[in-house]
């Protein structure tokens, strides 16, 4: 469960391991205490932060660790959300079961959508997923699907109560539930990256030809990664629907995909704990921006994105990681960098 430890260890090999663990533990303790101190609206927002973090983590597996692009993860989020809403509303199935179902459906959808990726340049994949994201709201509105999707009206669902007679209100319970799912998903992602599969994914990202010549089945790994990435985002979508208690086509416009991309870049491409910071960013920054003027959140997103790319033209890492590294190299023994040639 030392998800954050690993990356910090890049900057500071020995002590960071314990620092990372300590940060993680402190984080969990704070998270456990939150529902009892935070007001219910703030708690609702924090629950959504976790939801976005899971979605961004999924996108990170794809982009950060496998080098593929998606501008369309908003669509997978939508599929997950609708899966949950339809199961709960139309078939009266418990919310708990909607998560594996949403994950499975999105895994298949992502796997299928990842197939063209095998033949395409990265930029074409970005295009195909862009098209998916832009078309998603209209697909959800299609009249043949209206029986399930509720068309433009969408579907309203009910918030679940805490089980086993636990003395928690709905918001508190949902926060704990989401936190548990998030921890599980991050732990799984962390282990995936450190497994043989994860190394294969990164080998494909760094050098596809070498990966292939080492016997890595690049086609299989790329489509599987797409599937797993969509699975994460789909589960996040299902959770999001349960938390918001409502799904409608216009909740899943292209801006959602933009938000996930922003969260990825801000949190750090190829840095798993970054997704949490990405989630915080995409939830709270637009609120702050809208405070000044309506519609300003787009500009805030855009300017921050461009600044980040200028700071780190390679696109790897993210704002938080940058700060963490600076901080680490400031406090810790500076790793001796070889002086560049002049």
Residues contributing to the site for another protein (CB under 8 A):
63, 69, 71, 115-116, 119-124, 126-128, 130-132, 134-135, 138-139, 141-144, 208-209, 254, 258, 261, 265, 269, 293-303, 305-306, 308-310, 313-315, 341
- Least separation in angstroms between CB 142 and another protein: 6
Task: Give the torsion sign (CA, 122, 212, 191, 6).
Answer: negative
Closer of 103 and 274 to another protein (Cβ): 274
Q: Would you say 232 or 301 has its CB closer to another protein?
A: 301
Q: Give me the numbers of helices (H) and strands (E) for the chain, helices first please.
A: 15, 2
Residue 289 has what DSSP assignment? H
Placement of tokens 């708990």 in the chain:
96
Smallest distance from another protein to CB 318, Å? 11
The nearest distance, CB 96 to another protein, in angstroms, is 32
CB of 190 to another protein, least distance (A): 22
Kindly tell me which of 117 and 242 has the beta carbon lying closer to another protein: 117
Residue with smaller CB distance to another protein, 49 or 269: 269
Closest CA to 261 of 22, 8, 74: 74
Instruction: Give 336 or 341: the residue with its C-beta nearer to another protein.
Output: 341
Would you say 32 or 307 has its CB closer to another protein? Answer: 307
**What is the b/e burial string over 246-275, where b = at least 16 CB atoms within 10 angstroms of the residue's CB?**
ebbbebbebbbbbbbbbbbbbbbbbbbbbb
Question: Cβ closer to another protein: 71 or 99?
Answer: 71
> Which residue, 25 or 112, has its beta carbon nearer to another protein?
112
Q: How far is the CB of 232 from another protein (least distance, A)?
A: 19
For the bound state, the minimum distance from the C-beta of residue 300 to another protein, rounded and expressed in Å, comes to 8
DSSP for 174-209, written as a single string: HHHHHHHHHHHHHHHHHHHHHSHHHHHHHHHHH-HH
Q: Which two tokens stand for residue 259?
A: 């938000």
The least distance separating another protein from the CB of residue 4, rounded to whole angstroms, comes to 23
Question: Cα separation of 118 and 218, whole Å?
Answer: 8
Between 73-90 and 122-141, two packed helices, what is the crossing angle to 10 degrees?
A: 30
* Assigned token pair, 271: 């840095």
Phi then psi for residue 38, to 5 deg, are -75, 145
Burial 63-99 (b: 16+ CB within 10 A, else e): bbbbbbbbbbbbbbbbbbbbbbbbbbbeeeeebeebb
Residues 219 and 20: their CA atoms lie apart, in Å, by 35
Could you tell me which of 304, 240, 228, 296 has the C-alpha nearest to residue 81? 240
Measured from the CB atom, the residue of 124 and 327 that comes closer to another protein is 124
Minimum CB distance to another protein, residue 29 (Å): 35
Residue whose C-alpha is closest to residue 313's, from 324, 325, 305: 305
Cβ of residue 244: shortest distance to another protein, in angstroms?
A: 22
């Amino acid at each position: 469960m030392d998800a954050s430890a690993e990356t910090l260890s890049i900057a500071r090999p020995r002590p960071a391991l314990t620092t990372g663990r300590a940060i993680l533990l402190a984080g969990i303790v704070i998270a456990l205490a939150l529902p009892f101190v935070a007001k219910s609206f703030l708690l609702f927002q924090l629950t959504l932060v976790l939801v976005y973090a899971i979605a961004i983590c999924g996108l990170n597996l794809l982009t950060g660790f496998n080098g593929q692009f998606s501008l369309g993860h908003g669509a997978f989020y939508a599929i997950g959300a609708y899966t949950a809403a339809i199961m709960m509303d139309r078939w009266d199935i418990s919310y708990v079961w909607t998560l594996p179902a949403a994950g499975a459906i999105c895994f298949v959808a992502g796997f299928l959508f990842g197939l063209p990726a095998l033949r395409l340049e990265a930029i074409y994949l970005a295009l195909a997923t862009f098209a998916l994201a832009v078309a998603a709201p209209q697909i959800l509105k299609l009249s043949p699907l209206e029986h399930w999707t509720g068309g433009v009206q969408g579907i309203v669902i009910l918030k679940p109560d805490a089980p086993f007679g636990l003395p928690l209100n709905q918001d508190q319970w949902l926060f704990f539930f989401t936190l548990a799912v998030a921890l599980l998903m991050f732990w799984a992602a962390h282990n995936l990256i450190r497994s043989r599969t994860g190394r294969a994914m990164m080998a494909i990202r760094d050098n596809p030809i070498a990966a292939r010549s080492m016997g890595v089945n690049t086609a299989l790994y790329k489509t599987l990664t797409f599937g797993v990435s969509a699975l994460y985002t789909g589960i996040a979508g299902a959770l999001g629907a349960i938390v918001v208690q409502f799904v409608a086509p216009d909740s899943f416009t292209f801006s959602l995909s933009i938000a996930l991309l922003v969260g990825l870049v801000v949190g750090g491409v190829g840095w798993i704990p970054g997704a949490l910071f990405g989630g915080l960013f995409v939830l709270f920054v637009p609120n702050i921006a809208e405070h000044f003027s309506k519609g300003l959140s787009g500009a805030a997103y855009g300017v921050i994105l461009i600044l980040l790319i200028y700071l780190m033209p390679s696109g790897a890492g993210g704002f938080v990681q940058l700060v963490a590294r600076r901080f680490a190299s400031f406090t810790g023994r500076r790793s001796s960098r070889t002086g560049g040639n002049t």
